[in-house]
Structure 1
Amino acid sequence: MGEVAAEDNPTADYIAVLTETTHVVIAITTGSIADESTAEAAAAARDANPLDGWLPITESRDGSTVSAVFHLLCSGLGIQALMLPVAFASLGWVWGIITLSIGFLWQLYTIWALVELHESVPGTRYSRFLDLSIAAFGPRLGKLLALFPVMYLSGGTCVMLIINGGGAMEDLFKTMCGGDGAACGIKPLDGVEWFLLFTCIAIVIAQLPNLNPIATVSLFGAIAAVGYGALIWILSVTKGRPEGVSYEPLIEAKSVEARIGSVLNAIGIIALSFRGHNLVLEIQGTLPSTPKCSSGTLPSTPKCSSKESMWRAVIIAYSLIALCLYSLAIGGFWAYGSKIPNGGLYVAFPQFHGHDTPKLVMGLTYLLIVASCLSAFQIYAMPVFDTLELRYTSIRNCRCSRRARTFLRVFFGCLTFFVAVALPFLGSLAPLIGGMTSTLTFVLPCFMWLMIKRPRRKSGKWWLNVGLGWLGVVLWAVMVAAAIWVLVDRGINANFFDP
């Protein structure tokens, strides 16, 4: 993650980037790469973080399979899953299930690739996605491809968590105390104040130093995410379907252009329901070597690898995630069919069943959503905390003090709060920005596997990664196009500074 010195001539710098990009594409398609380039890239990544023992992601490697399961569940399950029935409404039962299954297996494979690449070079652990990208593509192109997706999927997700968590807090208050707060004798807060309350709580929890102490928070977050998802789909199914529910795909009643847009949007919704790939390497970085080997901050070796423990955690966590995703998609679509609103189950359940659901149950649902958002904030913010502390330790050449660490995390919390207040409509842009960063989930792991593992050309692994990588590029274009179509078709309420 070290900074690359800027060239004096901007034209030469631009040509250098184009040259390096061309080199990578040729290497992928021919299955060969110069040994010197590979060695230089690996050395650059190996020397990128000489201060690992001082940084929050890597300062503690005493995690376990159990803690990794908690982190994966907390980061992998989110409120986006409540949108899956909307995708099914456009695709129908058969194509909805097929698309969801293909997407799930695809992203599970890229997770496996990341787990394997974490220790692909003997004596080196790539505990950050950016480090692995630099090792695969070189310092300049590696940053160009990975820096924006990683930073958005950390900082941008934290902004969205403030918006969603603050909104859920407001819905909880309205459910329990009424819109005017008369039932509780409390004056209701406005949107900015709910965002501020959520941010303050999140910053207090964020004072935990690194990922291992956060494991308990991730446990509560995982329970909350599974809990509110289960509550919503079970209650939706048991309370019966609204009258006139149809399961015919909505695209059948629209023009050709609208059909294409609806299908692309549905594919984008399904793709965005898979999240957390930007944290897989960071979570694996908290694990020690195998129990028979020494742990601590020592790098692992082929005989002392963390990938077995991490892969067990992935299997456990993503089995539960699959159960939740399919339950929400199938149960939600069965309950509401074509009547599912654009806001997904978060809007559909209170709209159709809020009047006949006890206050305590509705309140519990919103409370679990708040708890899930607060917990996810901690793990998604950790790469940003790590980057800020890297800058501090690089300048001061010492471990970040408690006072400095507190200041940096409060600063980040204030920054995300400001963005959430300034752009409360960011959720409307999430499909567009999320589509732009989908390369981190579906594309880059495949190409990084080719660049680092260098499988024999035209072998099974070579064809698999080349095919999935370029198919991911097509998916990226589809998701961006779908997001633009939705924005043009529905418009956007740009309520700046008015949450």
Structure 2
Amino acid sequence: METQTAVSSFAVESGDISSKFDDDGRKKRTGTLMTASAHIITAVIGSGVLSLSWALAQLGWIAGIIALLIFSLITLLTCILLTDCYRSPDPITGRRNYNYMEAVKNNLGGIKYKLCAVSQYSNLVGISIGYTITAAISMAAVRRSNCFHKNGHEAGCHTSNSSYMIILGVIEIILSQIPNFHELAGLSFIASVMSFTYSLIGIGLSIAKIAERKNGSTSIAGVTVGVDVTRSQKVFNCLQALGNIALAYFFSNVLIEIQDTLKSSPPENLVMKKASVIGVSITSVFYLLCGGLGYAAFGNLAPGNFLTGFGFYEPYWLVNIANICIVVHLVGAYQLFSQPVYQLVEDWCKSRWPESDFIVEHQIVIPFVGNFNINFFRCIWRTVYVILTTVIAMLFPVFNSVLGLIGAASFWPLTVYFPVEMYISQAKIRSFSLKWFGLKTLSWVCFIVTIAAAVASIRGIIIDLGHYKPFKSVS
């Protein structure tokens, strides 16, 4: 690294603009406005889209659309603030921060950096659990879809989710042993294709259902008190719906990494601000289509996951393709979100016991195949992690409530609080000034909404578990 840095410094000082290295000695970045926008769209559009029609059913047309737009605007605003924190102390000429936590460390430091670590890693574990639940439900949905096609729509066709969670766990254990899984070529491309495919299929099926006039009854206020739900259920479901929408817009924790792919000129923060506007705007239109058309198709009886709640029966093969795409997407996404957790524990153990034979790499030779590096600790630790997340998913297999809790728990700290605090610190905004007061008010309002959504989601989990026998969930 020192050699690369020296080469880079000499190139800059001598005016060699064709240098292969950037100002930090790393390989010259080549990202552009278009690539950054594409990365944002890929990062945002994911499994969160599946619950948007249910969220609109709880909130109704007016409140639901307003909520989607408000979360979109808040996400865009905080992302714009976060782009100025990629370099510090100056947003254009300062030292680069390569990831979200490094930005928090260099801008805020101390206890806030530790709180960020707890928040981020807890969120990653929560996402792993949520993805296991969602993927298992989609796997079960494929079997149910085939059953409905064969036996008719009145057939029960119920199947165990737990068995599919075990299958997923075995697959994830195998994939977890692949070193640097997140660096595999084409992984992001596959994930983006899968997420767009199942979302577009959902939109297409919704349009077809509406065109056939088989759609449900919608209303301005959503589900009706006294008809569909009680007054207390209406309130808590609306709050839980906000958590689901928050999860759909969550991507701030990877924004710094996306910005780190951009060319140095024009300044990264200026390009990233434009990319954020493009990415979030396109995503918002996509979400309005998915949520709005899904709600229009199913009405106030919209299922929690509009591709597995089974209002869509035919063409069954297309429904199956959508659910297979969800499974493929989430199996890979599980590993991507788990990598930092794997690495945290493994790096700590290496620093604590650097000479341990149990932790260091060992090379083994497999005849006719080649040489492979094996790490016994990595094998055991990653296997245990997957087993734990799978068991927890089997204990709490409630789709909307879990997604709402994850969304609520991640939105305020990672999307609002830390970006606002870092921007105030870096821009040296004077305390109690109008701008300071506005940013703090935004943060506190989002905090209150987050707490309310989290409480509603926890209540939903408790109620759902009251009718559930552990390890025996069915779709």
* Equivalent residue, structure 2, for 1:320: 282
Return closer, same or farther for 1:157/1:233 CA change in 2, 3 Å cut-off.
Answer: same
Question: What's the offset of the Cα at 1:102?
Answer: 0.7
Match of 1:380 among 331, 337, 342: 337
- SS of residue paired to 1:90: helix
- SS of residue paired to 2:219: coil
- SS of residue paired to 1:73: helix
Match of 1:242 among 214, 224, 239: 214
* Equivalent residue, structure 2, for 1:106: 74
Match of 2:56 among 88, 107, 111: 88
Return closer, same or farther for 1:136/1:470 CA change in 2, 3 Å cut-off.
Answer: farther
Return closer, same or farther for 1:359/1:250 CA change in 2, 3 Å cut-off.
Answer: closer
Say whether 1:127 aligns with 2:98: yes
Return closer, same or farther for 1:226/1:208 CA change in 2, 3 Å cut-off.
Answer: farther
Say whether 1:346 aligns with 2:307: yes
Q: How does 1:408-419 map to 2 (within 5 A)?
A: 408=378, 411-412=381-382, 414-419=384-389
- SS of residue paired to 1:383: helix
Deviates more, 1:472-481 or 1:312-321: 312-321
Say whether 1:442 aligns with 2:404: no
- SS of residue paired to 1:445: helix
CA–CA distance in 2 between the matches of 1:442 and 1:210? 30
* Equivalent residue, structure 2, for 1:116: 84
CA–CA distance in 2 between the matches of 1:128 and 1:435? 22
Return closer, same or farther for 1:419/1:460 CA change in 2, 3 Å cut-off.
Answer: same
Match of 1:79 among 24, 44, 47: 47
Question: What's the offset of the Cα at 1:151?
Answer: 0.9
* Equivalent residue, structure 2, for 1:358: 315
Equivalent AA in structure 2 for residue 160 of structure 1 = G
CA–CA distance in 2 between the matches of 1:244 and 1:69? 36
Q: How does 1:456-471 map to 2 (within 5 A)?
A: 456-457=430-431, 459=433, 461-471=435-445
* Equivalent residue, structure 1, for 2:236: 261
CA–CA distance in 1 between the matches of 2:132 and 2:237? 29
Q: How does 1:276-295 map to 2 (within 5 A)?
A: 276-285=251-260, 287=261, 289-290=263-264
CA–CA distance in 1 between the matches of 2:204 and 2:360? 47
Deviates more, 1:228-237 or 1:83-92: 83-92
Unaligned runs of 5+ in 1: 1-57, 181-188, 292-302
For the 8 Å contact 1:70–1:218, the answer to whether it is kept is no
Return closer, same or farther for 1:272/1:446 CA change in 2, 3 Å cut-off.
Answer: same
Return closer, same or farther for 1:272/1:308 CA change in 2, 3 Å cut-off.
Answer: same
CA–CA distance in 2 between the matches of 1:332 and 1:191? 24
For the 8 Å contact 1:203–1:413, the answer to whether it is kept is yes
Equivalent AA in structure 1 for residue 332 of structure 2 = S
For the 8 Å contact 2:133–2:393, the answer to whether it is kept is no
- SS of residue paired to 1:353: coil
Question: What's the offset of the Cα at 1:433?
Answer: 4.7
- SS of residue paired to 2:186: helix
Equivalent AA in structure 2 for residue 375 of structure 1 = G
CA–CA distance in 2 between the matches of 1:281 and 1:400? 31
CA–CA distance in 1 between the matches of 2:288 and 2:397? 27
- SS of residue paired to 1:247: coil
For the 8 Å contact 2:124–2:337, the answer to whether it is kept is yes
For the 8 Å contact 1:82–1:344, the answer to whether it is kept is yes
- Could you list the per-position Cα deviations for residues 180-235 of structure 1 after superposition, in whole angstroms to 9, with x for gaps in the alignment? 9xxxxxxxx97555334434545665636275x34621111112111111111221
Question: What's the offset of the Cα at 1:155?
Answer: 2.2
Unaligned runs of 5+ in 2: 1-24, 151-158, 362-371
CA–CA distance in 2 between the matches of 1:231 and 1:461? 44
Return closer, same or farther for 1:360/1:400 CA change in 2, 3 Å cut-off.
Answer: farther
Return closer, same or farther for 1:64/1:480 CA change in 2, 3 Å cut-off.
Answer: same
Deviates more, 1:261-270 or 1:393-402: 393-402
Question: What's the offset of the Cα at 1:61?
Answer: 7.5
CA–CA distance in 2 between the matches of 1:262 and 1:363? 29
CA–CA distance in 1 between the matches of 2:172 and 2:132? 9
* Equivalent residue, structure 2, for 1:22: none
Question: What's the offset of the Cα at 1:415?
Answer: 1.2
CA–CA distance in 2 between the matches of 1:190 and 1:63? 48
Match of 1:233 among 197, 203, 206: 203
- SS of residue paired to 2:87: coil
- SS of residue paired to 1:438: helix
Match of 1:332 among 294, 318, 322: 294
Question: What's the offset of the Cα at 1:493?
Answer: 4.7
Return closer, same or farther for 1:489/1:419 CA change in 2, 3 Å cut-off.
Answer: closer
CA–CA distance in 1 between the matches of 2:383 and 2:259? 25
CA–CA distance in 2 between the matches of 1:381 and 1:310? 26
Question: What's the offset of the Cα at 1:325?
Answer: 0.8
- Could you list the per-position Cα deviations for residues 250-281 of structure 1 after superposition, in whole angstroms to 9, with x for gaps in the alignment? 45524654443343233233223222222222
Equivalent AA in structure 2 for residue 239 of structure 1 = K
Say whether 1:138 aligns with 2:105: no
Match of 1:455 among 422, 429, 440: 429
Return closer, same or farther for 1:201/1:260 CA change in 2, 3 Å cut-off.
Answer: closer
- SS of residue paired to 1:403: strand
Question: What's the offset of the Cα at 1:426?
Answer: 4.8
Equivalent AA in structure 2 for residue 450 of structure 1 = I
Return closer, same or farther for 1:315/1:223 CA change in 2, 3 Å cut-off.
Answer: farther
Return closer, same or farther for 1:326/1:495 CA change in 2, 3 Å cut-off.
Answer: same
